[in-house]
Amino acid sequence: MVLDRSFQLPNRLKEFTSFLVMDVLDRANELERRGHPMVHLEVGEPDFKTPRKILEAGQKALAEGKTHYTPSLGIYPLREAISEWYRKKYRVTVSPERIIVTMGTSPGLLLILSTLLNPGDEIILTNPGYACYANFIRYLEGVPVFVKVQEAEGFQCRTAYIRAKITERTRAILINSPSNPTGHLLPPEEMAEISRLRLPVISDEIYHGLVYGEKAHSFLELSQDAFVLNGFSKYFAMTGWRLGYIIVPDEYVRPIQKLQQNFFISSNTVAQYAGIVALNEEHPELEEMKQKYNKRRKYMIQRLREMGFGIAVEPTGAFYVFANAGKFTDDSLKFSFELLENAHVAVAPGIDFGSNGEGYMRFSYANSLEAIENGMNRLEAYLKSRSRPVRRSSL
């Protein structure tokens, strides 16, 4: 018997798409290696240092030899600190027993979806929305069901749109507020309407804390049966620490714990001890960080509008501006690489976030104001040269 050893991907990966913003980043890094200084406005990573007290807590944990496995649910003092954080910030009571510490929110989402989905089951989510959500669902042989959200409505996920997508296979509604890529918040009244649909809600709250002039609400304020994802990457500028957590209904704790034990064993030990200090101590750097983000946000919106990008409703959360680039292109991926190669400015293409994101570009202001100003100047100069008619030589 001759075995066929030709390369074949499993079916669950055949519809798996690349994370296009990372392709942009890879090319930007390659151009930098070739001597072309780039302005990075593509990735959603804080440019600020982790606050001093948190760094010291991590160093202390290392010095004390806290470098071994922890319980699979996470160390109890951190789970208590998360519980207290939700009591103070949102006035909700969350038992530490319902909290599972994870290596960032992405593994947390994978764990949640793994307990919800059988092949063919559906998750309702927005289009545009975070690029990786749909791939997580497809990987588990579920079906992402998209609700198109519109620029004129501030990319809000209206309950009426969701209701029209509900079927007998619907297992949950996935929301993200403040949103990646749009930077918009879901209004509390819309959240209340969603809660009345009586379906499980997965609420990605990783950008909470990065809100300007408004207030972010946890879905736990409306329902204790929600699945909540949060973590330390964005607000505490701890992306590389890989520390997040999920809050789940009681009956899901043990199934998710078993998955955690098999897939990940436990979260990073040193990061967990640093996380306790992140939540329990005051960090003046964070307020300064927010003020700088807000200044960058206002500046970027103004400059993009002056160049001709459309921003119907100003974003008030996260660190993104999702701008209508219809004046310049109907192919956001091609346009993204055009800007990369010619203006040396890296920007995320809207198509990365769903078909309804085509014609838009996501600009990240998680970079210094100086870099953003440089990037805006480069873009403006290139777009002006791009639109200038070519002079024909006279014969």
- Spell out the residues 6+ positions from residue 316 whose beta carbon is closer than 8 angstroms to its own: 178, 183, 184, 185, 211, 212, 213, 214
pLDDT exceeds 50 at position 88: yes
Q: Quote the CA–CA distance of 323 and 298 in Å, as a whole number.
A: 13
Percent of residues, the chain, with pLDDT higher than 70: 96
- Spell out the residues 6+ positions from residue 141 whose beta carbon is closer than 8 angstroms to its own: 12, 117, 118, 119, 120
Q: Quote the CA–CA distance of 316 and 310 in Å, as a whole number.
A: 16
**Model confidence, pTM:** 0.92
Q: Quote the CA–CA distance of 111 and 255 in Å, as a whole number.
A: 9
Residue 376 is predicted with a pLDDT of 98
Tens-digit pLDDT profile for residues 119-178: 999 999 999 999 999 999 999 999 999 999 999 888 988 999 999 999 999 999 999 999
Joined tokens for residue 94: 């969350």
Residue corresponding to tokens 């957590």: 245
pLDDT exceeds 60 at position 392: no
Question: Model confidence at 390, in pLDDT bands (50, 70, 90)?
Answer: very low
In order of 12, 68, 271, 279, 289, the CA distances from 231 in angstroms are: 28, 21, 11, 11, 17
Helix or strand run (H / E) with residue 349: strand 348-349
Tens-digit pLDDT profile for residues 224-242: 999 999 999 999 999 999 9
Label residues 283-292 b or e (16+ Cβ within 10 Å = b): bebbeebeee
**Burial class (CB within 10 angstroms; exposed 0-12, middle 13-18, buried 19+) of 244:** buried
Could you tell me the domains of the chain? 11-49+284-386 (3.90.1150.10), 52-280 (3.40.640.10)
Tens-digit pLDDT profile for residues 180-225: 999 999 999 999 999 999 999 999 999 999 999 889 999 999 999 9
Q: Quote the CA–CA distance of 344 and 27 in Å, as a whole number.
A: 11
- Spell out the residues 6+ positions from residue 139 whose beta carbon is closer than 8 angstroms to its own: 12, 13, 16
Q: Quote the CA–CA distance of 290 and 20 in Å, as a whole number.
A: 28
**Burial class (CB within 10 angstroms; exposed 0-12, middle 13-18, buried 19+) of 193:** middle
Tens-digit pLDDT profile for residues 102-113: 999 999 999 999
Residue 388 is predicted with a pLDDT of 55
Residue corresponding to tokens 């055949």: 14
**Residue 317, amino acid:** G
Tens-digit pLDDT profile for residues 288-308: 999 999 999 999 999 999 999
Smallest CA-to-CA distance from 185 within 167, 212, 164 is with: 212
Tens-digit pLDDT profile for residues 238-287: 999 999 999 999 999 999 999 999 999 999 999 999 999 999 999 999 99
Q: Quote the CA–CA distance of 252 and 248 in Å, as a whole number.
A: 6
Residue corresponding to tokens 């996935």: 174
Tens-digit pLDDT profile for residues 20-41: 999 999 999 999 999 999 999 9
Q: How many residues does the chain have?
A: 395
Rounded to a whole number of angstroms, the distance between the first and last alpha carbons of the chain is: 74
Joined tokens for residue 80: 């208590």
Omega within 30 of 0 (cis) for the link into 349: no
Question: Model confidence at 393, in pLDDT bands (50, 70, 90)?
Answer: very low
Q: Quote the CA–CA distance of 352 and 133 in Å, as a whole number.
A: 11
Question: Model confidence at 11, in pLDDT bands (50, 70, 90)?
Answer: confident
DSSP 185: P
